[in-house]
Chain A
Amino acid sequence: MTTKTALVAAAVATLVATGLAACGSSSNGGGGAKGGGTLTIQGDAGNPTLVENFNPFVAATELHGGYLMYEPLEFRSPVDGTFTPFLATGHKFTDPKTLDFTIRQNVKWSDGQPFTAADVVFTFNLIKKYPALDGNGVWAQITGVATSGNDVTVTFKAPNVPFAGVVAKTPIVPEHLWSSVPDPTKFTNTKPVGTGPFTLDKFAPTQYSLKKNPTYWQAAKIAPSEVLFPAQSSNQATNQLDVSSGKFDWSYNFLPNVQKTYVSRSKTNIYWFPPGGVITLYLNLTKAPYNDANFRKGISLALDRTTIAQKAVNGYLDAASQSGLILPNLKKWLDPSLPDQGVVKPDPAAAQAAFAQAGYTMQGGKLVKDGKQASMSIVMPNNFTDWVAAAKEVSTQLGQVGIKASLDLPQFPQYQSSIQAGTFDAAIGGFGGTGDPYTDFNNALNSSFAAPVKTATANNFERFKDPTVDQALATLAAATDPEAQQQATHTLEQVMYKQVPAVLMYYGGSWGLFSTKNFTGWPSADNPYTLPTSYDGSLLLVVTRLTKA
């Protein structure tokens, strides 16, 4: 055997030996403190690997861990709208256009500097200076932010009580660091300094980890010592397999047949699928015949929502109320004069009557006007399997009333650009889910959002325009008296029910999957303190409520 052959043989042998050794070692390499206290949350999607970006203002690129490092003033529950204080201990409207936040004392930034009201004012002025950072459109509603002692005062352009929740959820950043950032819109913030319960520990291409911040103002309440965020694969099926194999303490994934695929796999697996929004058939109101309320009513009356829900989410969730309220969460706002709590039952005769009012008649199994059959193309992201299943059922049901419906299934970015630009025909989308009726209705119906076709808009992409509805929204925004708020909310519910700006179908689930092996205190039906979404502000609230198992 020559020396060269010997060397090659040695190399191969080493490789095989280490390979065999690795087979015996644990499969979760790199990171992970030994001995409990590690919270593993299903992480962000890779791009193709994780891109390190913890800029809390640009939601599209921020890694989810940022929500555990930066805190808002207060967090409003998307379930029922109750506030949990964080950097502010409370808020109140001193007059209809002035909102006062009391700032928490003795809070430190993770680099040791003290947190003060000045940081709050700086943050709001920062997002005013750089509108690209104002993702929630705060400065469209307020005129100024100022300190007065330990308080921060926000002045509004017009009375808007519900908007306090949006103002409150702005993440606060340290003035002493961000004031020297040349361009905050491009700042990736790879060494984040926040007031939150965790700080960045390690960053690797497919996983990042956070470690507990010992100087956090409620550090005693925080159970995990470390939080791991392993990245998701672009293969959705593989992600579901990962979830089912018990890799995470908390994950967010639609799983079919959750009893069989998750709960039965381990005694400590639990789930909670509350309604997080309403899955809705949006019709492009700039196009005929969708601009005719009668046509829309016909579609609403033709659909069997219970069957759609059954096909889409296997009975996890029910048919939705056309009032626009998520029930039973927001039951207290429901207009009692709406029949069946606003849930529209299928009525073929009434549907035909409505179509007739719009000029359409049934001819040979087709719904026809001026010789042309009614047809629609429904767009949705191809990997939202429950939306696709719902749309297939909608297409079948519409076919039975003579409308030819086809499905368009691009990837999510294409879907999003299509609906935001208003170039779609019909689309499946989400409605509501903020926990506050005004915000839900405003996002969907306020004509100020209805940009012309080909100009992108995130809200009211169906382009609904009605000045009386705008007026009703303004009334609700200004109402401080509970009775007035109820009245104004009922008015908007009636608009949803009678004018059918969008056809609400079934409640979309918020797919919370948990393990009680390491931690308990997860949100549940008995304790619905927030939605189980692991990709937004709920992260912070949930983690502060966890206790060791």
Chain B
Amino acid sequence: MPYLLRKGVLFVVTLWAAITLNFILPRLMPGSPEDAALGKLASAGVPITNAERHAVEIQLGVPHTNVFTQYWDYLKNIVQFKFGHSYSFPSETVAHTIGKALPWTLVLVGATTVFAFVVGTLLGVFAGWRRGKAADTTVTLGATFFAAFPPFWLGLLLLYFLAYKNGWFPIKGGYAEGATPNWSPSFLADAFKHSVLPALTLAVTTLSGWVFGMRNNMINTLGEDYVTFAEANGLRTRTVALLYAARNALLPNVTAFGLSLGAVVGGSVLVEGVFSYPGLGNLLYIAVTNHDFPLMQALFLVITVSMLVAIFVVDLLYARLDPRVRRA
């Protein structure tokens, strides 16, 4: 219980800190992003009512006003998901735009993380078990090299060779033109086909975290007494590796989930842009190239908060899986 309480408090405090950081950043930066934003919104055809102006100022900063009042208004807006308008997509509110993109990113990031976890962990077990041999070196060097691939670079190469040149996969989008998102099997299959290349790109470049984490844990665990004891009792090495060593080595790996998730989310910003995949990463890509501050602000907040929530959920799961932690 104290573990959960500790993690809960940490979650709330970190959440508060992230929200506050998002408030402080635009007010620290040189120039006046709020003027720029208002000007661009106007030319994009968004009516600048007093409410609109107020929303932009709360988000980005108003000179010569009480910062605490601004902060309180900012918190109120966040809770109600009021992020105003963006000039990249003036026809709908930022909250609406993000709302449409969020499920796509959740699915992409979720599927990629699961895939990278499974494959990476298995490779790590393999490498740790066969430590020092050719298999280990291959896996280690391979994982190091793949981790050094800039995700957008791999994405461009896959786009060129597998989608553009050969037509095996679509060039862009989350689904085919003319289709309207629904739950039918044909749409799901279509969405799946559109997600293969972005997911593959992200998975390959984030595998290494799992590989190394698992490999190290395997190496440490294989040196433990109970493993030696099991081997002395005549159990086959493979049995020992999978049933005992891997399972126990798996647990600390779950905490590495947070760092890996950060890598996937970060990578998705670049990869979604390359494939025009309709997720949050693509929105951030557009926002950056447009210097669209309201949209960038909102996206940064949503991405950070989502990550914090995910990590907190995993921490809770960790408590269920590892009894030792609960008593800590």
Contacts and interface: CB of A to CB of B under 8 A. Distances in A.
Nearest to A14: B185
A9 to B, nearest CB: 16
B164 to A, nearest CB: 5
Contacts of A234: 276, 282, 286
B180 interface: yes
Contacts of B214: none
B100 interface: yes
A397 interface: no
A414 B37 CA distance: 10
Interface string B258-291: 0000000000000001101010001100100111
Interface of B: 36, 39-40, 42-45, 87-92, 97, 100-101, 164, 167, 170-173, 175-181, 185-186, 188-190, 192-193, 273-274, 276, 278, 282-283, 286, 289-291
Contacts, number: 123
Q: Which 5 A-B pairs have the closest CB atoms?
A: A30-B178, A417-B43, A29-B176, A22-B189, A31-B178
Contacts of B91: 47, 51, 61
Contacts of A21: 189
B97 A15 contact: no
B178 A207 contact: yes
A167 B42 CA distance: 28
Interface of A: 14-15, 18-19, 21-23, 27-32, 47-49, 51, 60-61, 202, 204-207, 209, 228, 230-231, 233-235, 238, 241-242, 245, 382, 410-411, 413-414, 416-417, 420, 456
Given A15-B188, A19-B189, A28-B176, A60 B45 contact: yes
A309 to B, nearest CB: 27
Given A19-B189, A49-B278, A245-B167, 9 more contacts: A22-B193, A29-B175, A48-B278, A202-B178, A204-B180, A411-B289, A414-B39, A414-B291, A416-B43
Contact of A30 (B179, B193, B278): B179
A30 B172 contact: no
A414 B40 contact: yes
Contact of B172 (A49, A51, A233): A233
Contacts of B178: 28-32, 202, 204, 206-207, 209, 228, 230
Nearest to A231: B177
A257 to B, nearest CB: 16
Contact of B276 (A29, A235, A413, A417): A235
Given A15-B188, A18-B188, A19-B192, A205 B180 contact: yes
Contacts of A49: 100, 278
Q: Which of B87, B101, B178, B291 has the most chain A CB within a 10 Å cutoff?
A: B178
Contacts of A209: 178
Contact of B101 (A48, A205, A245): A48
A28 to B, nearest CB: 6
B193 A23 contact: yes
Contacts of A242: 171-172
B177 A30 contact: yes
Contacts of A14: 185
Nearest to B41: A413
A19 B43 contact: no
B273 to A, nearest CB: 6
B222 to A, nearest CB: 31
A216 B188 CA distance: 40
